[in-house]
Amino acid sequence: MRFRPGEPPEPVVTGIPSATIHNGGRIAFGPDRMLHAGTGDAGNAALAQDRGSLGGKILRVTPDGDVPDDNPFDGSPVWSLGHRNVQGLAWDADGRMWASEFGPDRDDEINRVEAGGSYGWPIVTGRSG
């Protein structure tokens, strides 16, 4: 949602599934000046690998909510997929994105995120190698 004084809230990205669990929710502007949003799978693990769903993803849009031309999947806000429940986003001094997410009972993860990458959920959780 975009909030401007004296105006009603305005949706920036719509269609993100929600539930009582796995709602993700971290948003941050990256060094590329794009808005990034970590989403959870809303308790439906299959959504994480489904490119047609915005659940279980890291999304990347312009500040106005448009899809940047250089996103990895044409016309899609999806930057990366295969996430369970993204809780943190950060960038290092070299501009590389890192994300933290909760595992099911343990196996929380910190991943260096690359455009178009799949981070394994629900097949892989925690250490993958």
Annotation marks residue 22 as catalytic: yes
pLDDT at 102: 86
Residue ranges of the chain with per-residue pLDDT less than 50:
none
Output the pTM of the full model: 0.93
Nearest-5° Cα angle at 113, 106 to 126? 15
Q: Report how far residue 43's alpha carbon sits from residue 22's, in angstroms, rounded to the nearest whole number.
A: 6
pLDDT at 1: 85
Q: Are 73 and 51 in contact (CB under 8 A)?
A: yes
Catalytic residue among 16, 22, 39, 119: 22
pLDDT at 129: 58
